[in-house]
Homo-oligomer: A and B are copies of this chain.
Amino acid sequence: MYGGIEAGGTKIMCAAGTGPSDLHAQISFPTTTPTETIERIIAFFQQQRALPLVAIGIGSFGPIALHPHASNYGSITSTPKPGWANVDIVGPIGRALGVPVGFDTDTNAAALAEGRWGAAQDLTTFLYLTVGTGIGGGGVSNNQLIHGLLHPEMGHIRLPHDLQADPFPGVCPYHGDCLEGLASGPALLARWGAPGETLPSDHPAWALQAHYLALACVNFICTLSPERIILGGGVMNQSQLFPLIQREVQVLLGGYIQASVLLQQIDTYIVPPRLGKQAGMLGALVLAEQAASDPA
């Protein structure tokens, strides 16, 4: 039995189980202060002690410190979320529950889950992008999560921005008009004066939104050569975005990359997640499984 925690910036989801068809207990609650939030997480798993937990996995909002030898390993680092910068999340949970803890970003966790049970089964190289309060990406290359210096921060790539067509300066406090600055939920709200979910499906917001997400997909395709791109998160509940993005990716690529799935079946290439809002939490179970088999 594994414990999985998706630590999102607004909500925590916890579950005990081994996968989507074997979940023994679940809870979700708002992300408040670090102390209160971590206490609630620990209390939930302590209540499950009838089930022998062998490991915990945490998929967290970021940026996070991932290098096992770093002095701040297991912490959330430079988040603008009040109170959460430089908070150790792995340490207190691991000590309280006495089991190994796997740790990664929420989007890398979601990518893992979609690879195991969802929209990227049997693929070796793919990416998962969540478009919501922020924009974050996780990815798998040759069956392994993309790490390296740190972890991907795909929401912060820079894109062409035609200031005449779209004078909106972007909302990213670090970069202004990076992808997240132009196309996150808060960017939609700030640009159009209303939350995205209140705009009609034929509102011009969506063509512009699809344009930026298509540019982002093109850059990810040229850099990572993924076999599929999964677009999730609250903004992608606007399902009219998918055909707009798919078509524009084809136009932007201009036939240069000769892969039949891009040229002829792009509706199977840029797809919604299959695991919906549970992807991050289910991916945390996979992180727990990995921690159990390699507790170092």
Contacts and interface: CB of A to CB of B under 8 A. Distances in A.
Interface of A: 63, 77-78, 124-126, 137, 139, 141-142, 144-161, 174-175, 215, 218-227, 252-259, 261-262
16 contacts: A78-B255, A125-B146, A125-B148, A141-B144, A142-B148, A148-B224, A148-B227, A150-B225, A152-B223, A153-B225, A154-B222, A156-B222, A157-B218, A160-B161, A219-B219, A219-B223
A125 B153 contact: no
Count of chain copies = 2
B151 A222 contact: no
B175 A256 contact: yes
B149 A258 contact: no
B252 A158 contact: yes
B225 A224 contact: no
Interface class of chain A by DSSP: loop
Contacts of A154: 222-223
Contacts of A220: 223
A206 B154 CA distance: 28
A224 B152 contact: yes
A254 B180 CA distance: 15
A90 to B, nearest CB: 17
A215 B177 CA distance: 13
A177 B141 CA distance: 28
A146 B148 CA distance: 13
Given A175-B252, A252-B158, A222 B153 contact: yes
